[in-house]
Amino acid sequence: MPHCLKISFRYQILFFFLFLLFPFCKKINAQTYWTPLPKPTTNDLNKIQFFDSLSGWVAGDGGVILKTTNGGTSWNLLPTNLSTDIVDIFFLDKQRGWALSHYFTDSNNNVGTMLLSTTNGGNGWQQQQFDSVLFNAIYFLDAMKGWMGGTLGIILQTSDGGVEWQQTEFTNPSILPIQNIKFFTPSYGFAVGGFYDIAGIVWRTTDGGRRWSSLAVSPEPLFDIHFYDSLNIICVGGDLDFGAGMVRTSTGGEQWEYLPMNVIGQGHSVGFRSSSEGWMALGYAGTMLNTFDSGRTWNEIFTPDTTPVYDVQFTDERNGFIVGKNGTILKYNNPTNHVEHSNPENLSVNVESNPNPFNSVTTFTFSVPAATVVFLKVWDVLGREIATLIDKKFLNEGKHTVEFDASLYPAGIYFARLEINNVTKHHKLFLLK
């Protein structure tokens, strides 16, 4: 499965739902934080890799790889001699890099992966073909030692810079596809992946990638990994049925806790500007999530023009980039220009219901950080507003509760939408009959 899944007809109902919701959504203006750069291509951009604040590469559909040496002000198209989509890219330094592209041969129904490698910053690429396996993720620890992960839960390892590859060992193999690989130390690393409607999987190694153990940790696939430190780690993912979600561990991967985000979209990528401020790209939803408290709470924000975004990276506290559909590249604004950053508590909004699932009546609970206007509405899965519980009502600071009587509605999934101070939170409800 490619790292940035292009949504097919089974997702059309969700797009309809999103389309209906957009006119009613008042959210933080993403351009307060992110500035759109001139588009260097109209191709979808799936991956981003910056070595520092100036030097970086973006990669996407149609074999496109672009390079900047001035922080995204201008881009040069690099020659890949490919027309197939680039699904991952990794640069170890300004000269040495690798990229992965999937190929499909209709005549023989063959599939496989083309591995690209460069030693001159992408001005020239060598190709290496791997039949029958779709590799989605590539990671190098140094110039010699690296890994690729893909379908059937396969992880290959190289110790000579990618000339030869050997299959690694597993203590408990999983056949679900791998989507990302990252190492915290030369001996200690993780891979994530999974498959829709089956499970999200975390693989862990403590011996330098020679042997991996796997653990099912979520109901949906996972796409990215973030290390706070050696013990505290989060992984993000999602699918249509469950929306975005994440898992976290405080034990170095021994145990994991699954946390649904209660928003539409998939957590394709997560990047942290600082130890507390992070951003998550939600793919087809045309939104992002951001946190100011190290991932304990998240706020949903529309991207400029509700453009789907797939990958996010920060090189330091002042420089970050996001890439997405139709050549979109967003650059993080200088945080010293925004008073919102000094008051992150004003952006923390959450809503819960109890009981959930419920069979007739449930009670919403939420807190208002300061006296302000509040909206609370309920929608069905087709995007129809079925109940307005609070409509532009001024509420005082503090905790509030509102009862929702769904006895006249059919069983199914519903979405509550709370809006406070132009910050919106979704909450998924399960009505049983």
Show the domains of the chain with their CATH numbers: 14-334 (2.130.10.10), 349-431 (2.60.40.1930)
Query: Three-state SS for 151?
Result: helix
* DSSP state letter for 47: E
The Cα-based distances of 366 to 13, 349, 394 in angstroms read: 29, 8, 14
**Amino acid (one-letter) located at 335:** P
pTM for this structure? 0.74
Strands 169-170 and 211-218, sheet pairing? parallel
Among 171, 79, 66, 187, CA closest to 125 = 79
**Amino acid (one-letter) located at 279:** W
Are 401 and 378 contacting, i.e. CB atoms less than 8 angstroms apart? Answer: no
- CA–CA gap between residue 34 and residue 303 (Å, rounded): 8
> Bridge-partner residues for 420, per DSSP?
374, 423
Per-residue pLDDT of the chain (433 residues; tens, 9 = 90+): 344 444 443 444 444 444 344 333 334 555 568 999 999 999 999 999 998 999 999 999 999 999 999 999 999 999 999 999 999 999 999 999 999 999 987 666 789 999 999 999 999 999 999 999 999 999 999 999 999 999 999 999 999 999 999 999 999 999 999 999 999 999 999 999 999 989 999 999 999 999 999 999 999 999 999 999 999 999 999 988 779 999 999 999 999 999 999 899 999 999 999 888 999 999 999 999 999 888 988 988 889 888 999 999 999 888 999 999 999 999 997 654 443 433 334 445 678 899 999 999 999 999 887 777 788 989 887 667 899 999 878 788 889 999 999 999 999 888 888 888 667 788 888 999 8
How does DSSP assign 19-41, residue by residue?
A: HHHGGG-----GGGTEEEPPPS-
**Amino acid (one-letter) located at 331:** K
Q: What is residue 13's predicted lDDT score, i.e. its pLDDT?
A: 44
- CA–CA gap between residue 201 and residue 48 (Å, rounded): 23
